[in-house]
Amino acid sequence: MPSDPDLPNVISIVFVRAFVDQLPALVGVIIGTLATFGVTSLTDRTRWRRGQATRWDERRLETCAQCAQAIKEMHAVALRLLASRHPGLTAQPIDRAVGLEMLARAELERSKAGVDVAAR
């Protein structure tokens, strides 16, 4: 059987034509893959940032609560210190030396909490 010298050219033209026919579908798949990757990355980044913000907000709230508690303790000690000078106060009077020591400890706790708030 004689072989046709143009047969390889015809076969390659058929394969090229088949590839060109499928090229729009391949381009569509590549564009879809890139778009999916981009949107997923953006969504994950947004979710991560929101989680970080929530975590920092919780820590900030906890620190503010500690600061408020220390201020309340300072107020209570100050009222007890003033109770001996102002009989109308309902706080239990306290010795001045003990009260000042308690006030210094409460101030230390408040300043620690305040530093934590500023650092966060």
Report helix, strand or coil for 4.
coil
Residues 6+ apart with CB under 8 A from 82: 89, 91
43 pLDDT higher than 90? yes
d(CA 98, CA 109): 17
Span 92-110, average pLDDT: 88
The residues spanned by each domain of the chain are 7-119
Q: Among 12-16, 49-53, 85-89, 95-99, name the most confident range.
A: 95-99
Report helix, strand or coil for 2.
coil
Span 65-87, average pLDDT: 87
